[in-house]
Amino acid sequence: MNRESTSRRVIPVMVPMPVERPYSYAVPEGVRVEPGAILRVPLGPREVAGVAWDGDGEPVEPAKLREISQVFECPPLPAEMRRFIEWVAAYTLSPPGIVARMALRAPAAFDPEPPVEGLRLTANRPDRVTAARERVLRYAADGQAWTRSGLAHAAGVSSTVIDGLVAQGVFERVDIPPPPIVAAPDTSFGRPELTPDQQLAAERLREKAGAETFSVTLIDGVTGSGKTEVYFEAVAAALDMGKQVLILLPEIALTQAFLERFHDRFGAKPAEWHSDLAPRKRERVWRQVAEGQVRVVAGARSALFLPFCELGLVVVDEEHDPAYKQEDRVFYNARDMSVVRGRLGNFPVVLASATPSLESRVNADQGRYERILLPARFADAALPELSAIDMRRSPPARGGFLSPVLIEAIGRTIGRKEQALLFLNRRGYAPLTLCRVCGHRFQCPNCSSWLVEHRFRRQLVCHHCGHSEGRPEACPECGALDHLVPCGPGVERIAEELTRHFPDARTIVLSSDLLGGVKRLRLELEAIANGEADIVVGTQLVAKGHNFPSMTLVGVVDADLGLANGDPRAAERTFQLLSQVTGRAGRSGKKSTGLLQTYQPEHLVMRALISGDAETFYEREIEERLRAALPPFGRLAALIVSAATRQEAEAHARALRRAAPAAPAAGNIEILGPAEAPLAMVAGRHRFRLLVQGSRRADLQAYIRRLLEAAERPRGSVRVQVDIDPQSFL
Ligand code: ADP
Ligand code: ZN
């Protein structure tokens, strides 16, 4: 029987909505749709872009069956990508439609890029041949079509010269394909001379990247050891095999320097992918990745959902970085999902870090990942000499936050015309403002957090919801005038203190509050690298990936800051962040120093940093996690219940707890809470948390799915978010 002639074919289509499975649509007669095809389909009163999924569509009542409206002229989403979307959805307990939406984030890219106008030489000759015209004719003599500006540029003439020739019929207009957004990388362009250590590592990586099978390799090398240089060789190997490559970076918008290094090595830049990209550029990158024109993407975590057609290697730089975790809608960790992507696509994955996550370290220790060590800095650069400043013994002067020991060291550094970096992971001027008469504290009306004073902007700002208000003269509680005091330091306040001590020094404050956004930040970073500042005060923005050649002192204003927050990764995080930030010093061979202001110099983290004995630190942390059955030796998931009122949030959180499958049935899974979240209110929503804890083998997802099915549906303003492998416990 000829099926086509008796009934329309029904196919499943994944629509970008919170749906659990694809919807069924009819395919109009004579239209061919292959799995992965990107389609326009009617959905309610609207039309949306969806993806043709695999197999047959579920049967639908004929009256309800609607037809697809359009098959876009666009490469289909590869099977690997469809399996990846399903995998991420199942793992994170997100509706697959919402995960699919992340792969469809460039709607205008589903239509082919329009051709651009090109010019091709005809048989006509110009009436008069000037020197400029002569040059144009010489370039165009190859018979190829040129863009108007390309030809003008190549011949070194103004475009009016070209226009004159067009007017005389010397050129004809033809359509040419749009130019690639980036040039093709050349793997033999700037091959560096590697040190023996690097050489060994590079050979191993080349082997892995050339093997066309799944593997994970962890490059564990101190800051400045040449990890980037080494993984570029894996990139070269993958490109030589005709594969596409994805390099994930935690802070892509700031990594201009990375793009330039890539250019030095491959003679072309990689395509960038991040949230600051202009929409038009975004669409072109998406399209050219799908078509295979773009061979290398350097991007933020969302680049993992680009429609690569020949992906053969993913590199995750600074793999330990918390920025890889998305905590919004689909809660996923791009580092972990990169490994999954490699497994599904059967290709190698490379993780690089100077301070690997404990998860990756344990995976390497247990043989699941291969670990490659780069123990020394490149050339004559030495790691900075670190020591603690015991703040109990060398306290700051009244009203200040910098110990005399640190101030003296800064003075000596800038006296030598070298640079100092002061690190404090706190934006603004002061994290709290209070009234000295009545004790009133300024709190955000929408969140359970203090308002942070930003003195440059003259405002009190909430860092959770963005609420801001002017700083009043009088206390709103008791009316006392001029008795409001800032408590504690932010980077602006440290800069003010430095200006008192070093009025002639050029001091720059770097944080995400900088007016002018990413562009301005890039300029400032360049200025610092060029030696146009003496002292830099910065938040964690300065910790990542920058190379400041004359920076020889890094002072950590509050080394204890991240230690006391009840997060199981507090010590690990602090160790990673402080290693990274002190690693900014001494990158060009000069002797360099790192000073940690701390009230607990005997703390394990401080001792590890100062002795440089990371091994002992990792061993102790691993033991500790093993003992407490915490990740990676146990599994965690958080359920975050929020609602407009505290009562609603608490009631639903309790209902979830009651619905939890009983302990014996759940095997080795335990549920803790609910408890009010440490951040009890954010943006006007009250929050409660439950924590699900299980052994390494426990199927937390199945357990939580059963729990959510057994519980009543959230009603009214209540929302439940599931966070598998949570990184934040706030
Ligand atoms: P990491 O990624 O480990 O921090 P990088 O790859 O950034 O280290 O290297 C640190 C610095 O040393 C960079 O400026 C890099 O260009 C330089 N470098 C490292 N290895 C070499 C090499 N083999 N030849 C030339 N320069 C190198
Ligand atoms: Zn707020």
Reported in sequence order, the residue ranges of 292-358 that DSSP labels E, i.e. its strands, are 296-299, 311-317, 325-326, 332-333, 348-353
Please give the Cα distance from 261 to 267 (Å, whole number).
Answer: 9
Q: Mean pLDDT over residues 571-583, rounded?
A: 94
Predicted pLDDT at 567: 87
- Check if the beta carbon of residue 357 is closer than 8 Å to that of residue 725: no
- pLDDT of residue 554 exceeding 90, the answer is yes
Residue-range domain boundaries for the chain:
3-104, 116-176, 196-378, 381-426+489-623, 634-724
**Which CATH architecture describes the domain 381-426+489-623?**
3-Layer(aba) Sandwich (3.40)
**DSSP run (H or E) holding 370:** strand 370-374
- Positive or negative torsion for Cα 240, 250, 274, 517: negative
Enumerate long-range contacts of 390-396, CB under 8 Å, 24 or more apart: 390/598, 390/599, 390/601, 391/597, 391/598, 391/599, 392/599
Q: Does pLDDT of 642 surpass 60?
A: yes
Residue range 3-104 forms a domain whose CATH class is: alpha beta
For the CA of 192, the closest atom of ligand 1 is 24
Using a CB cutoff of 8 Å and minimum separation of 24, what contacts does 621-624 make? 621/358, 621/571, 621/572, 622/358, 622/361, 622/362, 622/365
pLDDT at 4 over 50: no
Query: Cα(226) to centroid of ligand 1, in Å?
Result: 4
Helix 96-103 crosses helix 79-92 at what angle (to 10 degrees)? 130
**Whose atoms come closest to the Cα of 468: which ligand?**
2
Average pLDDT over residues 602-625: 95
Residue 530, Cβ density class (10 Å: 0-12 exposed, 13-18 middle, ≥19 buried): exposed
Residues near ligand 1 with C-beta < 6 Å?
Answer: 192-195, 198, 221, 223-229, 378, 547
Which residue's alpha carbon is at the smallest distance from atom 6 of ligand 1? Answer: 226
Q: Give the integer Cα–Cα distance in Å for 610 and 202.
A: 30
Categorise residue 498: left if φ over 0, alpha if ψ from -120 to 50, beta otherwise. alpha
Band (pLDDT 50/70/90 cuts) for residue 231 is very high
Looking at domain 634-724, what is its CATH homologous superfamily? Ribosomal protein S10 (3.30.70.600)
Closest ligand to 452 CA?
Answer: 2
| Lowest-pLDDT choice from 66-80, 116-130, 295-309, 324-338 | 116-130
Q: Is the pLDDT of residue 548 over 90?
A: no
For ligand 1, atom 21: residue with the closest CA: 226
The domain defined by 196-378 carries CATH number 3.30.380.10: no
Which amino acid, 57? G
Per-residue pLDDT at 664: 55
Burial class of residue 509 in the structure, from the number of CB atoms within 10 Å of its CB (0-12 exposed, 13-18 middle, 19+ buried): buried
pLDDT bucket at 7, cuts 50 / 70 / 90: low
Range of weakest confidence among 301-305, 395-399, 589-593: 589-593
Task: Name residue 468's amino acid.
Answer: S
Query: Which ligand neighbours the alpha carbon of 685 most closely?
Result: 2
pTM across the whole model:
0.92
The neighbourhood of ligand 2, an ion, using CB within 5 A, equals 444, 446-447, 462, 464-465, 467
Are 3-104 and 381-426+489-623 in the same CATH fold? no
CA distance 70 to 13: 12
Burial 555-586 (b: 16+ CB within 10 A, else e): bbbbbbbbbeeebbbebbbbbbbbbbbbbbbb
pLDDT digits (tens, 9 = 90+) for 448-497: 999 999 998 899 999 999 999 999 999 999 999 999 999 999 999 999 99
What's the chain's length in residues? Answer: 730
CA-nearest residue, atom 4 of ligand 1:
224
Residue 444 alpha carbon to ligand 2 centre in Å: 5
Nearest CA to ligand 1 atom 15: 226
Please tell me the distance between residue 587's alpha carbon and the centre of ligand 1 in angstroms: 9
The type of residue at 83 is R
Q: Is 247 helix (H, G, I), strand (E, B) or coil?
A: strand
Measured in Å, residue 684 CA sits from the centre of ligand 2 at 8
Over the chain, what is the mean pLDDT?
93
Residue range 652-679, pLDDT digits in tens: 999 999 998 876 566 689 999 999 999 9
Ligand 2 centroid, distance to 127 Cα (angstroms): 72
Q: Are 392 and 409 contacting, i.e. CB atoms less than 8 angstroms apart?
A: no
Site to probe by mutation for ligand 1, drawn from 232, 315, 378 as the one with most ligand atoms within 8 Å of Cβ, is 378
C-alpha of residue 228 to centroid of ligand 1, in Å: 7
Distance between CA 710 and CA 730 in Å, rounded? 26
Phi, psi of 676 (to 5 degrees): -60, 135
- Whether the link from the prior residue into 632 is cis, omega within 30° of 0, is yes
pLDDT band (50, 70, 90) for residue 5 = very low
Predicted local confidence at residue 1, as pLDDT: 37
Minimum CA distance residue for ligand 1 atom 11: 224
